A and B are shown apart, each in its own frame.
Chain A
Amino acid sequence: EDKVVQSPLSLVVHEGDTVTLNCSYEVTNFRSLLWYKQEKKAPTFLFMLTSSGIEKKSGRLSSILDKKELSSILNITATQTGDSAIYLCAGASGAGSYQLTFGKGTKLSVIP
């Protein structure tokens, strides 16, 4: 059975701090690793990673995949209160449905 584990499950930081969120995966026929941000309801897409060692960046957020270690990290620098959300990591299987197996998420709270 496919499994994705995220750590920590929750994190409280002050504005301006840098945070690192972790994700490890065991996904059959692994194809890619995705990160989503869930604020109120709809998870919104952040990154999709398919190749090891190539960092993807978007503003203050960046992510990298390590296929040897079956893991990924999401970094957020200079955090803002608007970064407060649940960050979901998902592994995509390349077989059939391309369904995503999600972790439980990391709840990030950024306090002023």
Chain B
Amino acid sequence: AIWMTQSPSLRSASTGDRVTISCRVTQDISTYLAWYQQRPGKAPELLIYAASTLQSGVPSRFSGSGSGTDFTLTISGLLSEDSATYYCQQYYTFPFTFGQGTKLEIK
């Protein structure tokens, strides 16, 4: 199976800040990578797919980059509503696998 490692596991930031979350993968997955946001008690929601394509309806302050084994989710101009856990996921091959999650706290 392909392993996904996210860093950091926990990030604290203030409203208006720019934050980046890293996702490293154990083998080349091209751009078959998605990012999800999960607010407490809610289902995950798709933010980014194909490493850098914004899902319809997702604010443009979210962006993704990378290919191969290194990927980044960037959130610019943080809002309080961005407080959530973020997951990366590879869909290059089965079994689909997720990163362990990055919890983002807004001060």
A and B associate in one complex: no
Q: Which residues of B contact A (CB under 8 A)?
A: none
Q: Which residues of A contact B (CB under 8 A)?
A: none
